[in-house]
Amino acid sequence: MKLGLTLFGLGAAQWEAAYAPGHGGMVHLFEWSHAAIAEECEKMLGPKKWGAVQVSPPTENRLVGGQWWERYQPISYKLENRSGNHQEFADMVRRCNAVGVRTFVDVIPNHMCGGGGSGTGSGGTFFDAGSLDFPGVPYSRNDMNDNNCYTSSGNIENYGDANQVRNCRLVNLIDLNQGTEYVRGKLVDYLNQFIDLGAAGFRVDACKHMWPGDLDVIFGRLKNLNVRSGFKGTERPFIFQEVIDQGGEPITANEYTGFGRVTEFKYCMGVGSNTNSLKHLANIGPDWGYLSPMSSVVFVNNHDNQRGHGGGGHVVTFEESWALKTLTTFMMGHDYGEPRVMSSYYFSDPDEGPPGWQPNGFNGGFGCENGWVCEHRWRAIQNLGMFRGSVFGTGVTKWSEGWDNQIAFSRGNKGFMAINGGSSNWSGSIATSMPDGEYCDLGQGDPTDGGCTGPTIRVSGGQAQINVPTGDSPVSYISVSYTATGGGPSPTYPSTTTGSPGGECSSCKCSNKRDCGEIGTLEGDCTAKGCLWCPSSVSGEPWCIHSSSNNGGGDGGTGGSSCNVSDSGKRDCGYMGINSSQCQALGCCWSESQTGGVPWCFYPAF
């Protein structure tokens, strides 16, 4: 393994998310399907200006019994499991990017599935965990860390021994050796396929169990974000690493901050222990022994510690909904760390997998039904992306405290927030840095083109006139971007339709539509090529297509003149593991090459 760290030379975006302007914060849609996430981006997360969605691991996993954690037992890097397949994942990323919502992918470079047994994974790929054979990658015994682990069980037996923690198996999960060039190459390819599809970053699982120097090399070899997905081409993927550091062990979170952010688990306990004393949270951050603001991803709870994993202490979950609303609002309003909001499902057994039905589509309400909690839709929380995105670049100012567990603060001259943790309404005049005006109370209603659907807050002479209730939404927050005279995003929600718009788009049957774009192609790029931009909600139907004069032209596969492309001009049309028939089904060309770096599946020349 590599012991040294490269602390410089990586773009700032590995620490700072490439959010669309005016968007902020991320939501973890835990165990949602790709199709449901795409719809949520279009109907709720995009209009509400959330910055990103974290998605559950999309790779093929071992089928154990439907538990949530079987998703964290990969057997190949093929994109197929209960959330959807490769095409549905690509469609989700494209649709989310189109409305300004980035995709952060939960990835698992530390290990494969649990040891012992054999079978086929969620995508039909064979594996043998007894002989350490994973032909879907492929990996074999030589790619594992078993020979570097010296415990009698082969598992981690002592967390006080850093070598055990990083070289032995975590609860019998087959540990990869990231110190070899072969494994590094496979992991780089694994992550780069998501960048090619338009993803903007990664939540990296179990980083504590990998050597920091190996991760440094792997992250440093990743591509910049894809320009065809609307990025500038110079931005780096946003990296945040799961490192559970509660103190008392030789491995610390600070070892991993040189090449990305780290999940600050202490934050959960810090805010959870101050639910009834919010005033103590004013200086939360490094003064409390936490990571620096630019090194931390913060959260009130996550999928692990809401189930009793990931450290001790009081963790506030959806079971304490009132406290969760106040703490989540505080987290999204305060300037410490990059915040993530958990969106959960109900469970009675901590191993329990997701409900059998996906959440109901967003229609302006505050829940999901079908066994899902959907905290991100709660009235107090759903507009926090608007607030966070509009106060970017400012710090906390004008901190104020009420007499009954109440706090208020400004974010420079761009935003103001008041949180009522008390037992009665909080009314009065509170100092703020906001300019004079009347603003929509985003904690109580929505902004529209014509004004606000809920109450407003007037600011005059550096004072905000507040009336914060103590009921279902005990928070108020305003931003200079959302005034009572209108101009904010209208809370109208796109309908789900079948097929494409009218005219030439709809006159072409789906089976005849020939993709003129690439994954991540935007409308301007499409029309600039002389093609038609035809958005569609039909899964797998291309949005950028050739006009009728070109549809069906060319060879649509291999051997024709359109596939006569020089090696230097070949643009990758495929994905890891694609075969010739899958390639041609995409309308692309297939030609095997012995030259390294030349794609076998590539776009035709038109």
Judge whether 496 and 39 are in contact, CB under 8 Å.
yes
Question: What's at 567, amino acid-wise?
Answer: D
Judge whether 26 and 328 are in contact, CB under 8 Å.
no
Long-range pairs of 5-11 with CB within 8 A, sequence gap ≥ 24: 5/212, 5/213, 5/216, 5/258, 5/259, 6/216, 6/220, 6/258, 6/259, 7/258, 7/259, 9/220, 10/219, 10/220, 10/236, 10/259, 11/224, 11/234, 11/235, 11/236
Among 475, 488, 489, 484, which Cα is nearest to 334's? Answer: 475
pLDDT-based confidence at residue 7 (cuts at 50, 70, 90)? very low
Question: What's at 585, amino acid-wise?
Answer: A
Q: How far is CA 61 from CA 296, 567, 576, in A?
A: 29, 35, 16
Among 398, 356, 442, which Cα is nearest to 47's? Answer: 442
387 Cβ partners below 8 Å, 6+ apart?
24, 332, 333, 415, 417, 442, 477, 479
Q: Tell me, what's the pLDDT at 502?
A: 43
Tokens describing residue 278: 């919010």
Mean pLDDT of 479-501: 58
Q: How far is CA 6 from CA 211, 220, 256, 453, in A?
A: 13, 9, 11, 51
| Percent of the chain residues past pLDDT 90, beyond the cut | 74
Tokens describing residue 223: 């591509």
Euclidean distance between CA atoms 605 and 331, whole angstroms: 50
pLDDT, mean over the chain: 88
Among 54, 53, 52, 51, which Cα is nearest to 21's? Answer: 51
Digit-coded pLDDT (tens) for 268-281 = 999 999 999 999 99
Judge whether 429 and 460 are in contact, CB under 8 Å.
no
Looking up tokens 């329990």 gives 352
The residues with which 338 forms a beta bridge, in sequence order, are: 297
**Could you tell me whether strands 338-343 and 296-298 are parallel, antiparallel, or unpaired per DSSP bridges?**
parallel
| Percent of the chain residues past pLDDT 70, beyond the cut | 83
Please give the model's pTM, rounded to 2 decimal places: 0.82
Judge whether 537 and 498 are in contact, CB under 8 Å.
yes
167, containing H or E segment: helix 162-167
Euclidean distance between CA atoms 213 and 199, whole angstroms: 24
**Lowest mean per-residue pLDDT among 218-222, 378-382, 438-442, 563-567:** 563-567
pLDDT for residue 251 is more than 80: yes
pLDDT for residue 552 is more than 50: no
Its sign, for the CA torsion 43, 44, 49, 54, is: negative
Give φ, ψ of 234 to 5 degrees: -110, -5
- DSSP 8-class letter at 134: B
Mean pLDDT of 322-346: 98
Helix (H, G, I), strand (E, B) or coil at 467: strand
Euclidean distance between CA atoms 322 and 317, whole angstroms: 10
> Does the bond joining 237 to the residue before it have cis omega, within 30 degrees of 0?
no
Among 305, 390, 358, 440, which Cα is nearest to 32's? Answer: 358
Q: Tell me, what's the pLDDT at 527?
A: 56
Q: Tell me, what's the pLDDT at 5?
A: 40
Going along the chain from its start, the domains and CATH numbers come out as 12-390 (3.20.20.80), 396-479 (2.60.40.1180), 497-552 (4.10.110), 554-606 (4.10.110.10)
Burial class of 141 by CB neighbour count within 10 A (0 to 12, 13 to 18, 19+):
exposed
Judge whether 146 and 175 are in contact, CB under 8 Å.
yes
pLDDT-based confidence at residue 20 (cuts at 50, 70, 90)? very high
Burial class of 59 by CB neighbour count within 10 A (0 to 12, 13 to 18, 19+):
buried
Judge whether 35 and 212 are in contact, CB under 8 Å.
no
pLDDT for residue 400 is more than 80: yes
Helix (H, G, I), strand (E, B) or coil at 542: coil
Digit-coded pLDDT (tens) for 580-600 = 777 776 667 888 887 766 778
Task: Give DSSP secondary structure letters for 473-501.
Answer: --EEEEETTSBTTS-SPP---PPP-SS--
Mean pLDDT of 424-442: 97
**Could you tell me whether strands 589-590 and 447-448 are parallel, antiparallel, or unpaired per DSSP bridges?**
unpaired
Euclidean distance between CA atoms 77 and 473, whole angstroms: 42
Q: Which residues are catalytic?
A: 205, 242
Task: Give DSSP secondary structure letters for 558-578.
Answer: SSSGGG---GGG--B---TT-
Euclidean distance between CA atoms 514 and 555, whole angstroms: 11
Tell me how far apart the terminal alpha carbons of the chain are, to the nearest angstrom: 47
pLDDT for residue 157 is more than 50: yes
Among 441, 405, 411, which Cα is nearest to 424's? Answer: 405
Q: Tell me, what's the pLDDT at 534?
A: 72
Q: Tell me, what's the pLDDT at 89?
A: 98
